[in-house]
Amino acid sequence: MSLNELRFFLKKSANKGQAKVLQKFFKTGPGEYGEGDIFLGIKVPALRSIARQHLELTFDELGELIQSSIHEERMSVLMILVARFAGSKPDEKEKIYKFYLENSRNINNWDLVDLSAPQIVGGYLLDKSKKILEKLASSKNLWEKRIAMLATYRFIKEEQFDTAFIIAEILLNDKNDLIHKAVGWMLREIGKRDLKAEEDFLRDRYKNMPRTMLRYAIEKFPEYKRKLYLQGRI
């Protein structure tokens, strides 16, 4: 299967009505976080099916596709990479990981980050130094910061929380709502596995957290405890 064939199948599956809905949902208007992003209107299951038929595309082909202004074309690259990463030997995993970071600025919407960063960045770094995540978290690029936070989901699933707390600390005062949500979400995931660890982190920080971050972090707490946190009475 070739790159041209993949693009043919994507265009064949396009839905103009769905595209309009997605362009509004993913904030593609002037000044919004997804400004300029173009949608074909393909639902995720159909897109995943097309991607699975093109797992053999070369890195050169994937490199061309990841630079596309069409959202589903970039997403198909990430779906291919995630599928290949899962079944790859260490040297191929490294190639995928490096390709991913080299193209991080094209992984530029929250759904693209969320479907790929835990599996590729988190998966590769699971048994390695995680310092690169601190660099990404300190970036001026919104999506690199979200990649750093979401990559820690892979570690959290292994009950390794230290890196997630380090990245959360770096991003604690970030101004963007998408980062607030990402940090709060990862803290919530830690709490599902170790509530004490999450609360230890929150104790000296929750009063100064962005409200959205805190709400996401304590979403699964009992109602009475949520109210105490929101009222600043813990």
Q: What's phi and psi for 62, nearest 5 deg?
A: -65, -35
Q: Is the dihedral of CA 196, 163, 148, 128 positive or negative?
A: negative
What confidence tens digit (pLDDT) does each residue in 15-53 have? 999 999 999 999 999 999 999 999 999 999 999 999 999
Domain ranges of the chain: 1-87, 118-234
Residues 6+ apart with CB under 8 A from 145: 136, 137, 139, 171, 174, 176, 179
CA dist 205 and 54 (Å) reads: 46
Q: What is the value of pTM for the model shown?
A: 0.95
Helix axes 142-157, 110-117, angle to 10 degrees: 30
- The topology (CATH level 3) of 1-87 is Leucine-rich Repeat Variant (1.25.10)
| Residue 137: Cβ within 10 Å count | 24
- pLDDT surpasses 90 at 2: no
pLDDT band at 87 (very low <50, low <70, confident <90, very high): confident
CA dist 147 and 149 (Å) reads: 6
Q: Where are the alpha helices (DSSP H) in the chain?
A: 3-12, 16-25, 44-52, 59-65, 71-86, 90-102, 110-117, 123-125, 131-137, 142-157, 162-171, 177-193, 195-203, 211-217, 223-230
What confidence tens digit (pLDDT) does each residue in 55-82 have? 999 999 999 999 999 999 999 999 999 9
What confidence tens digit (pLDDT) does each residue in 94-152 have? 999 999 999 999 999 999 999 999 999 999 999 999 999 999 999 999 999 999 999 99
16: its two tokens: 């103009």
For domain 118-234, say whether CATH 1.25.10.90 is its number. yes
Residue 151: predicted pLDDT: 98
Domains 1-87 and 118-234 share a fold: yes
